[in-house]
Homo-oligomer: A and B are copies of this chain.
């Protein structure tokens, strides 16, 4: 349930929390209900400032992933699973497009790109071997 926070990753901490929650919803780890830990709880267990956690949760509310239930904490929206599943590929696609555009601009051809992709995928797999192993 706790996000892996890397304060030195360049990605803002609140954004890491946001992505973690979205991922968890897309994943089914978080279901439509009141499952997210309270701001204070999460702040204590991650050793982060409550404001940082609150900011992440606020963003998730803006995105329609969470909804505040007064005095009761924050719940996953009924619409969240669909939104998060859709976001998953969109977030990747957008960044990918930007990289490929640069590659194309500088005449890196399609096959070179495919090779890079395969080589990087291989490296990732070697770190995180398929769970079925």
Contacts and interface: CB of A to CB of B under 8 A. Distances in A.
Interface of A: 4, 7-10, 12-13, 19, 23, 26-27, 49, 62, 67, 69-71, 88-89, 91-93, 95-108, 110, 112-114, 116-117, 119-121, 123-125, 128
Nearest to A8: B67
A111 to B, nearest CB: 10
Top 4 A-B residue pairs of the complex, sorted by shortest distance between their CB atoms:
A23-B106, A95-B99, A92-B103, A104-B124
A16 B42 CA distance: 30
A93 B120 CA distance: 8
What is the copy number of this chain in the assembly?
A: 4
A96 B116 contact: yes
A31 to B, nearest CB: 16
Nearest to A70: B7
Contacts of A110: 121, 125
A123 B104 CA distance: 11
A66 to B, nearest CB: 13
